[in-house]
Every structure is written in structure tokens, then in C-alpha cells.
Amino acid sequence: MTTSRSTASLFHHFYSDHHRWLLGWLGRRLGCREQAADLAQDTFVKVMTGSEVSQIAEPRAFLTTIARRVLSNHYRRQQVERAYLEALAVMADEVSVSLEEQAEMLETLLEIDRLLDGLPPQVQQTFLLVQLDGLSYASVAEQLGISIATVKRYLARAGERCFFATLD
């Protein structure tokens, strides 16, 4: 129990010492204090769940690294959400989707984006064209200027990434 109290106390001091600075750092990048506050909290949650605060030698450099990752994920999420809403607007006359279904689809797209992160862009594009757009291997091969064998190889690579990520 003493260990958890001392860890909580260390984190409390770490948070108190650096929260205002991190909030300002994020606020300057986002231009929105509310979003900066949300992302600052996300950053500290990542610190709390993944780091031994007493081992952090350069707190601001450490927080900057984590906050940049959180910020990058935030921007990527906005990009996926914007693209989804644009696609939904184009199909508005053809498809009626409830707000709940929209939220579920967006979460699914964000999860796919997370799973494919780190794969080469052409592998990602191949996977999305086959899985989301429903194109045939031959159509994808023609569109991307690659062979059908390469389409299959790319799909296997993306599928492997998705499969093993779900095991974590």
C-alpha cells in the first residue's frame, strides 16, 4: 500500500508541476483551449499507465514526445472523421444511417486506421480498396499498376497485421 501511495504522490507532483506548461504547449498548437485540455489529460493518462514517473529524467522532453503522439493521433482521427462525413454526405440520398450507426462506423474506420498504421501506403490502399470499396483483385491491380500476385501479397501483409494486432 505504501508503494501505491508514494507512486500516486509522485504522479500528483509530476502532474502539478507540468500540467500548466503542457496545456500551454498544446494550446499553442491547437488554437483551442478545450481540445488542449482534453489532449493534456490524454497525455497524462499515457504517462500514468505506461511510465515510472520517478525514472523520468527530462519531464518536459518526455511529455513533449508523448503529447506529439497524442496530437498526431488526434489529427489523424479528425482526418478519418472528415473523410467519413464527406463520403456520408455524398451518399445521403441513397443511404439512411442513424447517428448510432454513424458513430459505430466511424469507430470501426478509426480502428482499421490504427491497425494499418505503419504499413506502406500502397499496402494500406490495396487493403482498403478490396475490403471497403469491394473491388476485385484485378481491378485493384489495374488501378494501382501492380500485379494480382502483388495485390494478394499486400492483402496478406495487411491481414496479418490486423490479425496479430487483435491478439494483443
Confidence band, pLDDT 50/70/90 cuts, at residue 4 = low
Mean pLDDT computed over 10-31: 93
The CATH code belonging to domain 1-96 is 1.10.1740
Residues 6 or more apart in contact with residue 151 via CB below 8 angstroms = 126, 130, 137, 140, 141, 144
Q: How many Å apart are CA 105 and CA 57, to the nearest integer?
A: 42
Task: Please report, for the chain, the start and end positions of each structural domain, with discontinuous segments joined by +.
Answer: 1-96, 118-168
DSSP tag of 95? -
For residues 119-157, one letter each, b for 16 or more C-beta atoms within 10 angstroms of the residue's C-beta and e for the rest, the string is beeebbbbbbbbeeeebebeebbeeeeeeeebbeebbeb
Cα-flanking dihedrals φ and ψ of residue 93, to 5°?
Answer: -75, -25
Question: Residue 120's pLDDT is what?
Answer: 93
| Each residue's pLDDT tens digit, 128-164 | 899 888 899 999 999 999 999 999 999 999 988 888 7
Question: Residue 166's pLDDT is what?
Answer: 61
Mean pLDDT computed over 60-69: 94
Question: Residue 52's pLDDT is what?
Answer: 79
Question: Residue 70's pLDDT is what?
Answer: 93
Is residue 147 within 8 A of residue 109, CB to CB? The reply is: no
Question: Residue 167's pLDDT is what?
Answer: 60
Question: Residue 2's pLDDT is what?
Answer: 44
Grid coordinates representing 42 are 490524454
As a whole-number percent, the residues of the chain with pLDDT over 90 amount to: 49
Residue 58 predicted with pLDDT over 90? yes
Question: C-alpha angle with apex 77: 72 to 78, nearest 5 degrees?
Answer: 100
Residue 53 predicted with pLDDT over 90? no
Confidence band, pLDDT 50/70/90 cuts, at residue 27 = very high
Question: Residue 126's pLDDT is what?
Answer: 94
R_g of the chain computed on alpha carbons: 21
Is residue 26 within 8 A of residue 36, CB to CB? The reply is: yes
Q: How many Å apart are CA 130 and CA 123, to the nearest integer?
A: 11
56: helix, coil or strand?
coil
Q: How many Å apart are CA 23 and CA 39, to the nearest integer?
A: 8
CATH topology of domain 118-168: Arc Repressor Mutant, subunit A (1.10.10)
- Of the given ranges (7-11, 14-18, 60-64), which has the lowest mean pLDDT? 7-11
Residue 93 predicted with pLDDT over 80? no
